[in-house]
Structure 1
Amino acid sequence: MSKVIVALVGIVFFSACNNGPEYVDSADSRSYASMGLDYHDIESVVEKSVDSLLSSGYVQNIKQPKVLVISDIINDTMQNVDVEQLSRKITRNMRNSGKFKLSLAISGTGTSSDKMIDSVRKQTRGNEEFDQYSVIEKGQLKGAQLSLSGKIWQKNVKVNGKQRTDYFFLLTLVDLATGEVVWDDEANIIKVGSNKSVSW
């Protein structure tokens, strides 16, 4: 009897282990898609938007790298979208083109400015504990020339007994000297699922 109990316990134990978490390759994870925004959606938006930007006439005519700052990126969806992750993915690809340089001296809500840029100046200038010849001099920060802003929103509708969710990603690049929009783009993600599916 005791052997039977031990065997049953072993079966239950190993069954529980087999139901544990597992790694999923990002390339194969589409089968786990939901009505919400996921990794593939963000990657798709970044690719479409950056391709549109880099192929624009404005960017094609840039001769020297422009200093870029990230302004506000508004998330007007029911999703917990990490707007900083989105903005940094986009600006990383922009920098890799050799046309842009990203400054974190100042920023809007789309990313976090690097507080140490300001702190290192305040804490070391005139402080006798620091070699003043190695302290950063005034006037070294580069002024921003361009600003990247954006907005994400969604619309939910029911179609033929199913739920359809449309996501819209609007990105805008502005010349800070003139206030002119030099590029903008709208990328869309459309998902359809059962009425039992939720997008929040």
Structure 2
Amino acid sequence: MRITNKEHQETLSRLERKFLEEKETNESLVREKILQSTQQKTQIQELQNKVERLEMALVHMTKEFETEIQQTEHKALVENQAGQVEISKLQQLLEMKDREMNRVKKLARNILDERTEVERFFLESLEQVKQQIMSSRKCYKQVAQAAYQKKMMEAFAGREEYPRIRTFNSYKHSTNSVHKDLQEAEKWTNIQRGKVDIS
């Protein structure tokens, strides 16, 4: 069954509309994922700063406790000459300080565990965004290549001019490569930290 020129034209028009819609959707998705990545990086940085402040406070607190325990032990030795009653009281104080130190050590372990969770969340978030961007990039390349081939067929049939030469690989010296379009993603949002990673 022969396809009429009108049916062929309608098919091409539908393909072109579909291409434009998918291109807009993909561009919107890439912009959204870039913004999401930026927000996640900011959140991770804030969490890491919080953990670092807690660690510094913990180090300071630990040193204070160690100094206080040393002073208390020295005082216990001195008071030993004054009587066993005072020694007993000081021993109780040392036990109390020791319990406090154990609580501080437990807090330290919790902080380290929290930091590990933060780092894992950061890596998983980056990997997820990277995979989503790579998927969008692959889809964009396929749609762009289909549209280019359609225009070449139209030009070969004499219905329109030949399009500009386009290449669909990532070679360094490729002419008018579709991959260079993706570099424009860096200009879509006001990202202050570094460049967009779409590799």
| Shorter-normalised TM range | under 0.3
Q: Which has the higher contact order (CA 8 A, sep 6+)?
A: 2
Structure 2 length-normalised TM = 0.25
Structure 1 length-normalised TM = 0.25
More helix by share: 2
